[in-house]
Amino acid sequence: MAEEKERNEAILSNIADGIVAVDRDGAIVLWNATAETISGVPAEEALGRRVSEVLQRDLAAGDGAPPGERSISIQRGDKEVWLSVSEAVMADAAGSVAGRIFAFRDVSSERLVEQMKSDFVATVSHELRTPLTSIYGFAETLMRGDVEFSDTERETFLAYIASESERLINIVDDLLSVARLETGTLRLTVEETDVAAVAREVVARVQEHADRWEFQVDVPNGGVVVDADRDKLSQVLLSLLDNAVKFSPDGGKVSISARRRPDGAEVRVTDEGVGVPRADHQRIFSKFYRAENGTPGMGGTGLGLFLARGLLVAMGGRIWVESKEGQGSTFVIELPAASSGQVQAPAERAAV
């Protein structure tokens, strides 16, 4: 009997679920180690008390509740924790209820991921619908036979259609790139690339719709040559400049500077915007993360910085942010220097 008791206690102590047992009066008689970890309440504080006193809510489903697992939330300090709870009734020899056993696990992270997926689907749907609505509206207007449009008006409508089509393509390309990054099927064409040339091309594109901002490219004479995929580097810089505009609601100066380093190159994208709180310095590179302090009305899928980091890592580089809230931000990129002084043929490789 002693061996059986020790074995049962060992199993209950090491099981991955929190296990709580109460007697017929509702007093806790078992509170395993996992229950301590999940709830933050030691067993010595829980034993002999009611569940509602320990967790500030009951675990019992109540009469008429459907059988099976259910989700409830409890407070652990100042943090809300979501539990998946299942319940079993213990009966005595006469068939009366002698107590209950509750098994639960922390599903807060799974719930957060599901919420992020739901928000992402809603966001992407909105981001796709906006350019599609514009394209459809302008195309339908041009097709009207009861209105005679001037050449200038037609050119304006067609320019909007082209601009919104490009926006749509960029969103779809981002989604495809994320999928390929995560499956390791994204192909990179690594070659000697002049950062200054790429930066000037990207700035010219952004200036078309951001005339309230002053853009500056600062690169030493002779340029800065790195080993990189030119298109992917352009995509990264475009994402950083778009962010600089989005989070600098009052305009200001946005600069791209590049400097040679002994084993590579450093590229810095600096703005005079709202800045990034220290607590978010890592979170902003997470998938689906969207800050709420940008220019009103400017959306996003929450994939830009996640994708930028993934592309840079695939090219042998890295990225981080230097910022204080309210004092602007500087995104710093490091890339490997060109392999040699001789121009080499582009090398294709997969991003792993």
Q: Burial letters for 302-311: b for 16+ Cβ neighbours within 10 Å, e otherwise? A: bbbbbbbbbb
Where are the domain boundaries for CATH 1.10.287.130 in the chain?
A: 107-183
The fold of 107-183 is Helix Hairpins (1.10.287)
Where are the domain boundaries for CATH 3.30.450.20 in the chain?
A: 2-106
CATH superfamily of 2-106: PAS domain (3.30.450.20)
Question: Hey, which residues does 333 pair with through a beta bridge?
Answer: 267, 319
Main-chain dihedrals φ then ψ at residue 343, nearest 5 degrees: -75, 125
- Give pLDDT < 70 ranges for the chain: 13, 63-67, 288-301, 339-352
The fold of 186-352 is Heat Shock Protein 90 (3.30.565)
What pLDDT score does 7 carry? 79
Distance CA 233, CA 190 (A): 10
What pLDDT score does 20 carry? 92
Distance CA 123, CA 281 (A): 22
Contacts within 8 Å (CB) and 24+ apart, 124-128 = 124/171, 124/175, 124/301, 126/299, 127/171, 127/299, 127/300, 127/301, 128/168, 128/171
What pLDDT score does 58 carry? 87
**pTM of the full predicted structure?**
0.59
Yes or no: say if 195 and 223 are a contact pair by the CB < 8 Å rule. Answer: yes
Helices 230-246 and 195-207: crossing angle, nearest 10°?
40
What pLDDT score does 66 carry? 63
Which residue, chain included where needed, has tokens 């017929």? 24
| Residues 239, 270, 250: CA angle, nearest 5 degrees | 85
pLDDT tens, residue by residue, 144-177: 888 888 889 889 999 889 988 988 888 888 788 8
For residue 187, CA distances in Å to 109, 225, 229 come to: 32, 21, 10
Yes or no: say if 303 and 287 are a contact pair by the CB < 8 Å rule. Answer: yes
* H-type alpha helices, the chain: 2-14, 33-39, 43-46, 51-55, 108-142, 151-183, 195-207, 230-246, 304-314
Where are the domain boundaries for CATH 3.30.565.10 in the chain?
A: 186-352
